[in-house]
Chain A
Amino acid sequence: MGDRPAEVRIHDFLEVDTGFSPEEAIAEANRCLQCKKPACVDGCPVNINIPVFIAEIAEGNFANAAVSIKTQNMLPAICGRVCPQETQCEILCILGNKDKPIRIGQLERFAADEERRTGIKPQDKKPSTGKRVAVIGSGPAGITAAGELAREGHSVVMYESLHLPGGVLTYGIPAFRLPKDVVNAELDQVLKLGVEVKLNHFVGKSVSLSELLTYDAVMLGTGAGLPYFMNIPGEHLNGVYSANEFLTRVNLMHADQFPRFDTPIAKASRVVVVGGGNVAMDAARTARRMGAKVTLVYRRRSEDLPARLAEIHHAEEEGIEFITCANPTRILGEQVVTGVECVRMQMCELDASGRPAAKPIDGDTFTLDCDVVIQAIGQGPNPVLVREIEGIERGRAGNVIADGDGKTSHPKIFAAGDVTTGAATVILAMGGAKKAAQSICSYLTSK
């Protein structure tokens, strides 16, 4: 197992982490203590029976391992790659106290990859209930809810506004972290349960609200696709992108392969990425692969970077320069970007989020020359459909308010994923979607 060397991988979009070999997987699985009360499971938002699937791997029964995971999680090859295991299951693994925790994520990925390689068994589903459910959005939340509902025998129509399904898995997370054939294979398994997908349907526009409400229930999984901008001078100059736009042009539209693909993107030689989360790392590493020298500017300290440790490490290996404790104040240029003016930040006492507050140091500024600026400072819930639904309760950030079971203030409408939480994670969206699907099932049977 290991990462492909940085000097090789910055020239392509192939996967960085090559995963376990069967021998490595079995050896790692054999380290598991098979705890009677497995702490690791408490950390998993979808309650995968971790020791059980690890035991199957240890025995060499890779296919059984995958089947076991999929009773709880229909997207194991995806989750095995992008879940923040280090802060979920792995941090709770008992072995972490003395030694290294079990690499649960890598094992999950291994089981799923093996199953895909050797042929996937179709899943069981219950007889038809005659109930119709509309699922809006085909990201992790939508796809999970659709799968759960289809397994229960409901007839499911999933609507997606883009021309491909998958949400952020398709247009956001780059292929070097999450290959698109992996996404497609797992989506396919869910669709094989009989879910009907309608692409190019922007619900609220292509499908009216009244038409939507003719379904017996509606599940909202429209995500957090609204990009935030910093509102600083120069933001409208050519060459200033939101991370969403930059990543969509490359991942969904293949602008990196222009002119073979028709979508253009700036040919940048120096790129400044603003932000410090996973999205910022993805944008930076994508720009690097397109040949640019990349600098990432983050307003807090390096130990405060919210991205996964592995991704920060990968970014550093790939030659991305990090400037921490600095924040852009102005984007320079006439028509096209030529640079960014930043101010140094000083770290003060902890703020409400428990992190040290960052305050600008007056007059302590510097300039970075560049031809592209990518803002990766966060996204909000996609407002377009939600704001048109009368009587649905919303939070201050525009998120749909749903209780722990995915119920909204509208009796027929359920919601999960980033549209309820704001930008979060794949697995939290999936966990929420499973609960919402359960609520939909009980709502449909009680009707």
Chain B
Amino acid sequence: MYTIEKSNEIADKIFEIWVDAPHVARNAQAGQFVIIRIDETGERIPLTISRARGDLVRIVFMAVGKTTHALAAIKPGGNIADIVGPLGHPSEVKSWGTCVIVGGGAGISSTPCIAEALKKAGNKVIGIIGARNAGMLIFEDEMREICDELHVTTDDGSKGRHGFAADVLKETVADQKIDAVWIIGPAIMMKITSMATRDKGIKTFVSLNPIMVDGTGMCGSCRCQVAGKTVFACVDGPEFDAHEVDFDLLMQRQRYYMEQEKEAIALWNQHGCSCAEGK
């Protein structure tokens, strides 16, 4: 059992929790993730490590389906059954020069950690964070503190610039020499946004989020196509060269259990807790 020390709704439907998991916290690096399981009947789901402090690991997630709703409902002091990690390769942190980090939606959660690591490695760091609206924007303050420059966008114009992160990225790479870019967010956002750096041949990383089970390279559920080759995102990634990723395949594979996901959330909504009767 692992205790949830803190839990907050930090934006509309986006939650932050701090889990007491020393085995994960002590080796966690930027770009890595964990797999959690809430209870005996729960599913294993992957979530990015947003920060690690002492024995605690911060996870930030959007309540989209059964498991993330159930996770959001756990009060501080409550438990989850399992957390394994850190998993995957850390981000390629080195002295690149000038780096841009783009976060979309809940994907913004992993940007402070990467930005901080890059900053420490001596890079100039430009942040671009975008959300659907002001109510869904997270970590603006944290990012502003770390980054040399921060741009904020919202799809509806309710905060920062009206538009998409991709627009700002396009302008940024047109204006100055950029050496490396990270884009983290929903698959469709990563696909579109990474087009902004393709022509210029700027090294661009995306963090892929296929459906996983074990997260240790054992099942092949997370397989993706990168540069025409099959890779397992959990152990070969999760970060890959954006310009080599087959995003359409990623999105196709993400949709496979849509029907069951609907069924699970409907049951959850009916009952609203994870006790036995609800199952």
Contact = CB atoms under 8 A, between A and B. Distances in A.
Interface of A: 161-163, 198-202, 205-208, 225-227, 229, 231, 235-236, 238-239, 241-242, 244-245, 248-249, 253-254, 258-264, 266, 335-336, 382-384
A199 B24 CA distance: 12
B214 to A, nearest CB: 7
B264 interface: yes
Contacts of A199: 82
Contacts of A258: 260, 264
B214 A248 contact: yes
B27 A200 contact: no
Given A162-B214, A206-B84, A236 B41 contact: no
B167 interface: no
B214 A259 contact: no
A165 B132 CA distance: 43
A241 B253 CA distance: 12
B85 A206 contact: yes
A244 B220 contact: yes
Interface string B218-254: 1111010100001000010000000000000100110
Contacts, number: 119
Given A201-B84, A384-B235, A262 B214 contact: no
Contacts of A266: 256
A248 B218 contact: yes
B213 interface: yes
Nearest to B40: A261
Contact of B213 (A239, A253, A261): A253
B257 to A, nearest CB: 4
Contact of A245 (B219, B253, B261): B219
14 contacts: A206-B84, A227-B218, A231-B230, A236-B230, A238-B253, A238-B256, A245-B220, A253-B213, A258-B264, A259-B264, A262-B264, A263-B44, A264-B257, A264-B260
Contacts of B43: 253, 261-264
B81 interface: yes
B253 A206 contact: no
B37 interface: yes
Given A245-B213, A248-B219, 14 more contacts: A162-B216, A200-B84, A206-B24, A206-B86, A208-B27, A227-B218, A227-B219, A238-B256, A242-B220, A245-B220, A248-B218, A258-B260, A258-B264, A260-B279
B208 to A, nearest CB: 13
Q: For chain B, which range describes its interface: under 10, 10 to 19, 20 to 34, or 35 or more residues?
A: 35 or more
Contacts of B256: 238-239, 266, 336
A384 B217 contact: yes
Name, among A238, A260, A263, the residue most crowded by chain B CB atoms within 10 Å (CB to CB). A263
Interface string B1-29: 00000000000000000000001100100
B42 interface: yes
B91 interface: no
B23 A198 contact: yes
A235 B252 CA distance: 13
B279 A205 contact: no
Nearest to B225: A236
A382 B173 CA distance: 41
B121 interface: no
A274 B74 CA distance: 43
Given A201-B23, A259-B264, A244 B44 contact: no
A262 B42 contact: yes
Nearest to B221: A245
Given A205-B86, A253-B44, A264 B261 contact: yes
B87 interface: yes
B197 to A, nearest CB: 26
A225 B260 CA distance: 27
B267 A242 contact: no
Interface in B37-59: 37, 41-44
B137 interface: no
Contacts of A239: 256
Nearest to A383: B217
Contacts of A198: 23
B154 interface: no
Contacts of A207: 23, 27
Contacts of B44: 163, 253, 263
B255 interface: yes
**Would you list the 5 A-B pairs with minimal beta carbon distance, nearest first?**
A264-B260, A245-B219, A262-B43, A225-B218, A238-B256
Contact of B85 (A202, A227, A244, A262): A202
B68 to A, nearest CB: 11
A238 B216 CA distance: 21
A206 B23 contact: yes
A335 B251 CA distance: 10
B66 interface: yes
A333 to B, nearest CB: 11
B83 interface: yes
A417 to B, nearest CB: 15
A199 B83 CA distance: 9
B67 interface: yes
B83 to A, nearest CB: 6
B148 interface: no
A139 B43 CA distance: 22
Interface string B264-279: 1001000000000001
B253 A229 contact: no
Contact of A161 (B32, B67, B216): B216
Contacts of B267: 259
A262 B67 contact: yes
Nearest to B279: A260
Given A205-B27, A227-B220, A236-B223, A163 B260 contact: no
A185 B83 CA distance: 25
B263 interface: yes
Contacts of A335: 252, 255
Nearest to B267: A259
Contacts of B23: 198, 200-201, 206-207
